[in-house]
Structure 1
Amino acid sequence: MFQLTPTVRNLLIANVVVFLIAQQVPNHLGFLALFPVGSPYFQPWQYLTHMFMHAGIGHIFSNMFGLMVFGPLLEQRWGGQRFLTFWLICGIGAGVLYSGVRYYELNKMRHDMEVFRQDPTDVHLQDVVENNIKNNAPAFDPAIRQLHATPDDQHLIQGVLTEFENQYQRSLNGPMVGASGALFGLLFAFAYLFPNTTLIVFPLPVPVKAKYLVPVYGLYELYGGIHQAPGDNIAHFAHLAGLLVGFVLVMLWERNRARFY
């Protein structure tokens, strides 16, 4: 049985309640998700509210399960107010940092599209694909070969530009939801403060100490963010941002306190 502490319990209830309401009126709660800066749907309050939105049962289950596993010991150490502050700062900070990453990515995509528009060669087409939509690169291979063979094919060029614009708009208006940034902050704090606690991680057949699990998990997220697979809609850099914010807070809060081994 989980020994739920008061703040962990209240966060769990709040997330579940918002999730259930969102299942009934999803179109009316879209303004709570975090949209990229520059999107017509972006609002500053989304840095907070996106933490209480989730994409599905599996998404909310994994985040709330992590909260129940790692949260109580941290709340017992810090107290409810400081634990809640940590959770919110990690979640909001992850959203802010991830917004910066998305802003850079979208600007890069727009710039590469304009370069191709001004000089529509197969080389510039390949640059747009490789630099911005690499996980969908095979779909553009025929167009790249055709443009190399017939560089003045205006119908092909306009079709590619239309597809790029559609991809850009989908990215610009694609929101992020979930408490994963806050959870990854908890993961770092737990591994730092309780490093030798053993955890059972499915599907690994043996227990793993927290101090080993979290760095490996962070490297996995970094790899997933850099080499994003086709169909992968996980915000890996938001997870890494949560780890980073958690690291900074823990270093500030725990400088003169002992860790548990």
Structure 2
Amino acid sequence: MPPLDLPLGIGTSGLDDPTECTATVAAALEDGYRHVDTAQMYDNEAAVGDGIERVCGDPAVDIDREDVTVATKIHPTNLAPEDVRRTARESLDRLGLDRVDLLYVHWPTDAYDAEATLPAFDELRADGLTEHVGVSNFTPDLLREARDILDAPIAAHQVECHPRFQQTELRALADEFDHRLVGYSPLARGALFDDEAFLSIAERSGRSPAVLALAWAVSRGVTPIPKATGDHVAENLRAVTAEIPDSVLRAVDALPPGDRHIDRDDAAWNR
């Protein structure tokens, strides 16, 4: 199977209002996004599905569902094999889909047991309920372990990634293992907009901080999935075609590491 081609996506973490979530997903697809990311943990799969149906189900819009990569993630508490199989089907029901294109292990914590959990994902793929299997928030060692256990190739690894948390090692492993690195919180949950060093680079580039951060990710082989609403949805998509001088990208590379913004306990993540 060829590697998964993942374009810049629309992230939906934090889109808790169903009406806003549905409108955002629909607007993103109409603006040109072809990658939508959700999760059981976000409690918005039904609203995401409504947004997809609003656009892909409208003959006047002419967007084929087959051209949209839809990804969701199994909640960490649902990673026992029987729960993986059951709740994946529940996610499909909420999304209104027969299958998802990409199904992730959301976090390797709680009910996660590599030897038990991962074969359940292989089963779902064999049954046609997902086309690709992904993992999220895995350390390098856990990533290697998952590769050894899964029959399916890992198509994508989703982690926090932004100019102050650049994930150099995991980017290198993505190249080595031939999977996509998907970057959530690519704007550091807004912290980049108060980051004087980064803002100075953005000013020199003549691009907005958001476009620079996303364009930097794309240039480094990362698929960013920014959450956005309103006018920012279309603005973020411009990062795909933004031409940023190499000198500017290297200046971003040289930024010292800062904080990451994940919500879960580091000790549990690194167990």
TM class by shorter-chain length? under 0.3
* Larger RCO, structures 1/2 (Cα 8 Å, 6+ apart): 1
So what's the TM-score if we normalise by structure 1? 0.25
Q: Which has the higher helix share?
A: 1
TM-score normalized by structure 2? Answer: 0.24
Between Structure 1 and Structure 2, the one with more strand by share is 2
